[in-house]
Amino acid sequence: MTYLPGASFAPFFFPNGKRIIFSSNHLAPRGPEFDLFAVDIDGSHLEQITFAGGFDGFPVFSPDGKTLSMSSNRKDVIEKDGTSVYRVNGMPAGPTDTNVFLVDWVDDVRDPTASTPPPRPTMEQTHDADDFAAIVNYLADDARDGRGVGTKGLDQALATLEQQLKVWGLEPGNAGSFRQEFEVTTKVERGAKTAMELDGKPLAAADFTPLASSASSLVKGAIEPVGWGIVDVDAKLDDYKGKNVKGKIALVHRFVPPDAKLEAPAAGRLGDLRYKAFIARGKGATGLIVIDDGDLKQDEAPLPSLAAAESESGIPIVVITRKAGAALGLRKGGGHRAILAVALEPVRAKTTNLVAVVRAGAAQKQPGVVVLGAHLDHLGMGGPSALDKEPGIHNGADDNASGVAGLMQAAQALVKKRAELARDVYIVAFSAEEMGALGSEYYVKHAPTKEPIVAMLNMDMIGRMRNNIVHVNGGGSATEWKDLVEAACKAAKVSCTIGGSGYGPSDHMPFYIAGSPVLFFFTGSHSDYHTATDDADKINAIGGARIAAIATDVAFATANRKEALTYVKAPPEAMGSGDVRRRGASLGTIPSYSEEPNLPPGMVLSDVAPDGPAAKAGLKGGDRIVALGTAEIRSVSDLMFVLESAKPGTEVKVTFVRAGKTQTVTATYGVPRSRR
C-alpha cells in the first residue's frame, strides 16, 4: 500500500471501503512528529489529514462515517497559577499526555456544483501512482469499447497517447511518424452465396450458420449420422466405430454426451467444433453438419456467432437449428442428402503500433537500440478468446491498460534522462497482441531502424501486484539480466522473481526469436483474466508504478552499457506446478501467428525449442508443417489435436515445406513441458 520512509501504522478503512486512513512520520522519519494521512486502496492520492505538532494516531471512523476518533497529544490548555490546565475541566495537563479526540468528518469539501471540479488533493509521494491510475482509468473506461482492433475506442486511446508523448518531448519513431500501420483480419462475414439444402429443400438463413473456421467451398453428398462426433481413448468414446463417412457429410450432436461425466477441460476439448471437424476430415468426410439435439432436456443453444476469424478447418461446417433438423427427420436415417455452400468473406482492417523514441543525448553513443513495449489492444466485446461467453465490454484494465500505464510512465521518466542516454530507447504500444502478437511480429519484421535491438522489455499485466512481488520472466535470455534487474528491484523496494527463457505468449517473444534478449514484467494471472470483470477498480496502482520504475531503471542501465548483453537461447520453461497428470506429447515447436492472408494450409514455425524433438529432427523457423503421420495439418489447432492424443517416445513422420520443397523427417515425440 505504501512505500514511505519512517513508520506508517494503525490503518483503518474509510466507511466506503475505498480509502485508508493511517498515522505516519514519513515527512520527518527520524522524529516523533506523527500525523494522519489517507490513501486510496490502490496506493494513489496520498493526502495529509492533520497538521498539528506532536503525535496523532490510531484513527477510527464511526460506522456512519460522520465522526473520526483518534489519539493525540495535542492540548487545549490555559495557564492557571503557573500551571498548564485543560480549559474544559481545569485538570492539570502533563507534558506527555495522550488523549482521545472526536472530530466531525466531511469526506469531500470540493464544490460539486462547479463546472470543472478541482482535482483531488494528493502528495508528491504518490504522484506516480496517481498518474498510473489515471491512465488505467482512461484506457479501461467503457467509452474505449474494450480497445478491440477496429474499434473507435482503440483509435481514441492511440490518439490520446500519441498526443501525450508529443507533449513530453518524445520524437516520432517510424520514419517521421508516431504510427506504424498494418492490416489484420478482424472477422469473417457470411457471403451472399452461402446456402444450404436438405433433401432438395433450401434452409432459411436464420436456420443455419457456417462457423468462422469453415472452409469456403461447395460440397454435395449423403448425410451420415455419427452421434457426438467424438473419438477419444481416455474418455472411451468412439462415435465413428462401424461408420463410414468417406465422401459423405458427417452429422454430429453439438457439445458432449451428458452421461459421459467428463471434467470441464475434457468437455471443452472434445466439444470444440474445430476438433469435431478435424476428426471428421481425418475420417474422410467432405463436410460437417452440427445440431444441438443430443440432450433434448436442455434448452437449445443459440447458433454460434460469426464474428471472429479462425484458422480454416479444411471442410465446410454448418450448425443448424433443431427445428430445421427435426422437420426432415435427420436422426431417423433414410438416406438424406445435403448441399453445403459456404462463402466466407474476410474483413480486413488497418491497425496501428504507436512508436516513439527517446533519442540518446550522451556525448559517447553506443551501437544498437533498446525497445520498451506493452500492448494497447484488448478483446473489445469478447469473442473466442474471452473466458466468459456472454458478450459485453471487456475493459482489460490489467490486460493491458496496466502495461501501457507503465510504458507511459517509463517514457516520461526516460525523456528526462535523455541527455545521459547512450542508446536510443524506442517506446512502442503494440496492437493486435490478443490476435497472436501480430503487432510485435510486424514491428520486428519492419523495424523502423537498422540499428540492432540490444534488448526488449515488455510489460503485460502488471496491475495486480500481490505480496509486493513481480515476476520478471526472460531472466535467462541474457547472462547479465539477473544483476541488472536485482539492482532495480532493490531500489524500488520490490521483491522480484527472475528467470525463464524469452518464450511466452506476449509481445517479447518475436524479439527473442529474432535474437534479442528480453524481459517480461508480469504480476500473475487471476479470475478476471479475459473476462468483462477486469476493471480499473481492482488495479494496484502503486504496485504498477513501482514496476514501471524498475523497467525504467533496467532500460536506462541497458542503454548505457558499453558491452552488449549476452544472448542466451534456452528452451521454454515448464508451465504449471504440482504432480498433475498431463495429456499428450510435445514436438517443441513455436508456431507463427502470421496474418499473411494468402498463406497455403499448414502450420508455419516461428522457431523450435532448443534440443526439442523438432530441433533434433532438423526442423527450423520458417518451415511449414503440412502433416504429422497420416494427419493433415492445416493450422495450429490441427497440430494441437494431434499432440493431445500422441504418446511421448513414439516416432512420427513430419511432412513440411521449406523453400518451396516438400520434405519429410522422423521425429520422436517428447514429454509436454508441464510434465517435466
**pLDDT of residue 596 exceeding 80:** no
Kindly indicate the confidence band of residue 676, based on its pLDDT and cuts at 50, 70 and 90.
Answer: very low
- Domain 148-185+348-559 class in CATH: alpha beta
> Percent of the chain at pLDDT above 90?
82
Name the residue with cell 518464450: 503
Sorting pLDDT into bands at 50, 70 and 90, what band is 576?
very low
pLDDT tens sequence across 602-630: 999 999 999 999 999 999 999 999 999 99
pLDDT higher than 70, residue 633: yes
The model's pLDDT over 371-399, given as tens digits with 9 standing for 90+, comes to: 999 999 999 999 888 998 778 999 999 99
Rounded to 5 degrees, φ, ψ at 290 are: -125, 135
For residue range 184-233, list pLDDT tens digits in order: 998 899 999 999 999 999 999 999 999 999 999 999 999 999 999 999 99
Q: How many angstroms from the chain centroid is the CA of residue 151?
A: 18
CA 188, 193, 195: angle at the middle one, nearest 5? 95
Does residue 310 have a pLDDT over 60? yes
pLDDT band at 579 (very low <50, low <70, confident <90, very high): very low
The closest of 658, 639, 642 to 650, measured between CA atoms, is 642
pLDDT at residue 222 in the model: 95
The band of 333, judged by pLDDT with boundaries at 50, 70 and 90, is low
Q: Any idea which of 355-369, 451-465, 595-609 has the lowest mean pLDDT?
A: 595-609
Mean pLDDT of 43-67: 95
**Residue 12 CB partners (closer than 8 Å, separation 6+):** 20, 21, 22, 59, 60, 61
Note the CATH number of domain 589-675.
2.30.42.10
pLDDT of residue 179: 98
Per-residue pLDDT band for 580 (boundaries 50, 70, 90) equals very low
pLDDT of residue 199: 92
- In this prediction, residues 344-367 reach a mean pLDDT of 96
Amino acid 319: pLDDT: 97
Please determine, for residue 421, whether its predicted confidence score (pLDDT) is greater than 60.
yes
Determine the average pLDDT of the residues in 247-274: 93
Say if residue 118's pLDDT is above 60. yes
Q: Which of left, alpha, beta for 55 (phi over 0: left; psi -120 to 50: alpha)?
A: beta
Spatial CA neighbour of 428 closest among 142, 182, 621: 182
Q: Rounded mean pLDDT of 299-322?
A: 89
Report the distance separating Cα 396 and Cα 380, nearest Å. Answer: 9
- CATH second-level architecture of 193-342? 3-Layer(bba) Sandwich (3.50)
- Sequence-distant (6+) residues with CB within 8 A of 139 are 147, 157, 376, 396, 397, 401, 404, 405
Reading the block at residue 82, the C-alpha cell is: 503557573
Query: Does residue 578 surpass a pLDDT of 60?
Result: no
State residue 577's pLDDT score.
42
Between CA 392 and CA 379 the distance in angstroms is 10
pLDDT confidence of residue 574: 62
**The pLDDT of residue 334 is above 80:** no
The pLDDT of residue 666 is above 90 = yes
Residue 132: strand, helix, or coil: helix
CB 510 within 8 A of CB 591: no
Q: Using the predicted structure, report yes or no on whether residue 131 has a pLDDT greater than 80.
A: yes
Q: How open is the CA angle 476-482-485, to the nearest 5 degrees? A: 120
pLDDT at 163 exceeding the cut of 70: yes
- Give 262-310 as a DSSP string: --HHHHHHHH-HHHHHHHHHHTT-SEEEEES-S-TTSPPPPPPP--S--
Question: Is the model more confident about 366 or about 308?
Answer: 366
| Residue-averaged pLDDT of the chain | 93
Predicted local confidence at residue 325, as pLDDT: 87
* pLDDT above 70 as % of the chain: 96
**Alpha-carbon distances, residue 602 vs 233, 348, 421, 435 (angstroms):** 26, 21, 45, 18
